[in-house]
């Protein structure tokens, strides 16, 4: 399902995901052929609202829209924009038309979001509004127990990955500090420049000329050498 995003996750994360897929497949095989009891009021299901997206104007939406129409989407909203963009007109319109009990349907998961975090956040927002989510190609439906469990696992994996990134960043910064490197921009006023500036100022060279010779601004010069130190 999400193996095409393998570069997003670390090895331990992918191993957890693989175990989930294996368990899910085993569970589906055991329940294959069993009829689910019909729930009271099942005839009053919400609408299927479709969402299709391509990244450029040159790409064709026909494959997606045909698949969405085939499974019974009453309305289909479209976008021709990158999935990484936070603002997508078609997606916004689709969400405005969704009501509690409805289902947002996409052809593939990456049509809704380009990252695991973005996808999990969007589906989480839909579920808060009582809206389900369905991906045709990936066979995911949050209206089922296995679909909901899938997104719970993905949310946990995304959170774990964020924590691992923070830990790796902190570890990298600590190693850099031990090696004498600090973060941020390179200092404009090195020790040699400070010494040179003190000598020039002490010899009567105007601060403007000293700053120009050292390649720094006058405020930077005064920040490192306050006027009181060379007056």
Please state, in angstroms and rounded to a whole number, the distance separating the CA atoms of residues 109 and 3: 11
pLDDT of residue 5: 45
Q: Is residue 27 among the annotated active site residues?
A: no
- Is residue 185 situated within a structural domain? no
SS3 (DSSP) at 79? strand
Q: Number of structural domains, the chain?
A: 2
The CATH number of the domain holding residue 207 is: 1.10.10
The CATH number of the domain holding residue 8 is: 3.40.50.1390
* Pair 14, 122 in one domain: yes
Range of the domain at 7: 3-19+46-161
Which residues lie below 8 Å from residue 221, measured CB to CB, with a gap of 6+?
189, 197, 207, 210, 211, 214
Residue 3 confidence (pLDDT) above 60: no
Q: What is the pLDDT of residues 106-115, one digit of tens each?
A: 999 889 887 7
* Pair 126, 64 in one domain: yes
* Pair 202, 143 in one domain: no
- Is residue 35 situated within a structural domain? no
* Pair 107, 152 in one domain: yes
Is residue 73 within 8 Å of residue 46, measured between CB atoms?
Answer: no
CA angle at 137 for the pair 131 and 139, rounded to the nearest 5°: 60
* Pair 136, 218 in one domain: no
* Pair 130, 60 in one domain: yes
Residue 84 confidence (pLDDT) above 80: no
Give the CA diameter of the chain.
95
Q: pLDDT band at residue 177, thresholds of 50, 70 and 90?
A: confident
pLDDT of residue 10: 54
- Is residue 98 situated within a structural domain? yes
- Residue bearing the bigger pLDDT, 155 or 9: 155
* Pair 93, 205 in one domain: no
* Pair 56, 139 in one domain: yes
Q: What percent of the chain has pLDDT over 70?
A: 74
Please state, in angstroms and rounded to a whole number, the distance separating the CA atoms of residues 198 and 28: 77
- Is residue 177 situated within a structural domain? no
CA distances from 74 to 3, 17, 68, 104, 106 (A): 31, 34, 9, 11, 13
CA angle at 85 for the pair 15 and 143, rounded to the nearest 5°: 55
CA distances from 175 to 144, 166, 178, 186 (A): 47, 14, 5, 18
Catalytic residue among 10, 26, 42, 55: 55
Of the candidates 140, 161, 182, which is a domain's last residue? 161
């Amino acid at each position: 399902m999400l193996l095409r995003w393998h570069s997003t996750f670390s090895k331990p994360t992918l191993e957890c995901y693989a175990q989930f897929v294996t368990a899910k497949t085993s569970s589906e095989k055991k329940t294959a052929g069993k009829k689910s009891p019909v729930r009271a009021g099942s005839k009053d299901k919400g609408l299927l609202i479709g969402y299709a997206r391509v990244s450029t104007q040159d790409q064709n939406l026909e494959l997606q829209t045909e698949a969405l129409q085939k499974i019974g989407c009453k309305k289909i909203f479209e976008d021709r924009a990158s999935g990484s963009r936070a603002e997508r007109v078609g997606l916004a319109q689709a969400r405005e038309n969704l009501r509690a009990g409805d289902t947002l349907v996409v052809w593939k998961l990456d049509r809704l979001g380009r990252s695991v975090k973005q996808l999990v956040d969007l589906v989480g927002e839909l579920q808060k509004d009582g809206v389900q989510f369905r991906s045709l190609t990936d066979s995911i439906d949050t209206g089922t127990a296995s679909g909901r469990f899938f997104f719970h696992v993905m949310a946990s994996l995304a959170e774990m990955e964020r924590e691992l990134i923070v830990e790796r960043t902190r570890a990298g910064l600590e190693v850099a500090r031990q090696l004498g490197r600090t973060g941020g921009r390179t200092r404009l006023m090195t020790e040699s420049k400070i010494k040179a500036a003190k000598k020039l100022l002490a010899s009567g060279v105007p601060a403007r000329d000293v700053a120009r010779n050292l390649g720094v601004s006058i405020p930077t010069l005064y920040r490192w050498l306050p006027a009181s130190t060379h007056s």
